[in-house]
Amino acid sequence: QVNLVESGGDLVQPGGSLRLSCVFSGMFGKEYNMAWYRQAPGKEREWVASISGGFGAASHRTNYTESVKGRFTIRRDDPLKKTYLQMNDVKPEDTGVYYCHARMGTGSEYWGQGTQVTVSS
């Protein structure tokens, strides 16, 4: 079976920091993409960040939505099958449920159940 589990969501003050984690259970393909999405209350789900490349490669490609560039950083630890989203200088607009997403080079896709992030003073 394949399973994605997010953790790290919390209440955080504007300007503060938070790190989200995603643990993957199952078999990876040789190439795969990990991504974070979020859904604010009453809003549509949006893509936030992604990281892709070969399993165990020394470097990976990263991309970010414009609104989080310079504030968020996506990382992955292939041996541990973990993906992280470091969130710095958070804003109230960052509030939402954050979802981990995995896509194998074979085309298989998987979603986690989400973790709540609330940015409020």
User: Per residue, what are the HEC states of 64-107?
Assistant: ECHHHCCCEEEEEECCCCEEEEEECCCCHHHCEEEEEEEEECCC
Three-state DSSP state, 121:
coil
Per-residue pLDDT tens over the stretch 28-73? 778 889 999 999 999 999 999 999 989 888 889 999 999 999 999 9
> Is it the case that residue 89 has pLDDT exceeding 80?
yes
Per-residue pLDDT tens over the stretch 8-22? 999 999 999 999 999
Q: Provide the phi-psi class of 23: left if phi over 0, else alpha when psi is between -120 and 50, else beta.
A: beta
22 CB neighbour count, 10 Å cutoff? 25
Q: Provide the phi-psi class of 93: left if phi over 0, else alpha when psi is between -120 and 50, else beta.
A: alpha
Which pairing describes strands 115-119 and 11-12: parallel, antiparallel, or unpaired?
A: parallel
